[in-house]
Amino acid sequence: MGADLEKVLIAKEDIDAKLVELAAEIDRDYAGKDLLIVGVLKGAVMVMADLARALSSNVTMDWMAVSSYGAGTKSSGVVRILKDLDTDIAGRHVLIVEDIIDSGLTLSWLISNLGSRGPASLEVCTLLRKPDAAKVRIDVKYTGFDIPNEFVVGYGLDYSEKYRNLPFVGTLAPHVYGG
Ligand code: PRP
Ligand code: MN
Ligand code: MG
């Protein structure tokens, strides 16, 4: 596993099984509708790739890249668009796909931003959620796992851009981030 990692929190098999479950729900809920799934770069890359392949319905995919800025702190809630959607979402059924909801500030901003563009519907799917870290309440239609408020990496999630390619979600050893 490597000295930087403390433990595996969610194994690859459990992620795969959960995404198959979520995909079945999504297939059912959007049956007969055109669905656009929107991945939030970069963390959501793995979830998008595996969730999309678990769906039986035909969906279209688009991507957004956003960044918090302001007093240097991560989730200031003030968000800047680094890459906008290529798609006009007016009248479309849109599902935002995230790897994790931590404070919820990024997603809360995204929901109001995309919501103002007149989608037919707007929902959220996240693999992970940290209920104890939430600063704002967000209605999440599809949640994979609620996890404790620990520093997690892997399966898209990074620490200083590292560890995204791990096939599982693990916790980082405190010595790595100075804990
Ligand atoms: C991470 C994660 C979520 C967001 C959650 O993205 O992928 O998008 O933070 O945090 P919040 O709920 O506190 O707002 P990050 O900004 O690190 O960018 P990345 O996806 O490129 O890693
Ligand atoms: Mn992200
Ligand atoms: Mg990150």
Closest ligand, as measured to the CA of 160: 3
The residue written with tokens 């800025």 in the block is 69
d(CA 96, CA 48): 10
Nearest-CA residue for ligand 1 atom 20 is 43
End-to-end Cα separation, the chain, in angstroms: 19
Ligand 1 proximity of 39 Cβ (cutoff 6 Å): no
Q: Select from 117, 104, 20 the least CA-distant residue to 62.
A: 117
This model of the complex carries an ipTM of: 0.98
b/e 131-163 (16+ beta carbons within 10 angstroms → b)? eebbeeebebbbbbbebeeeebbbbbbeeeeeb
pLDDT in tens, 34-59: 999 999 999 999 999 999 999 999 99
Q: Which atom of ligand 1 is nearest to the CA of 105?
A: 14
Of 74, 97, 146, 164, the residue with max ligand 1 atoms within 8 A of its CB, to mutate for a pocket test, comes to: 74
Domains and CATH numbers, the chain: 5-172 (3.40.50.2020)
Q: With 70 as the cut, is the pLDDT of residue 166 above it? A: yes
Residues assigned a catalytic role: 102
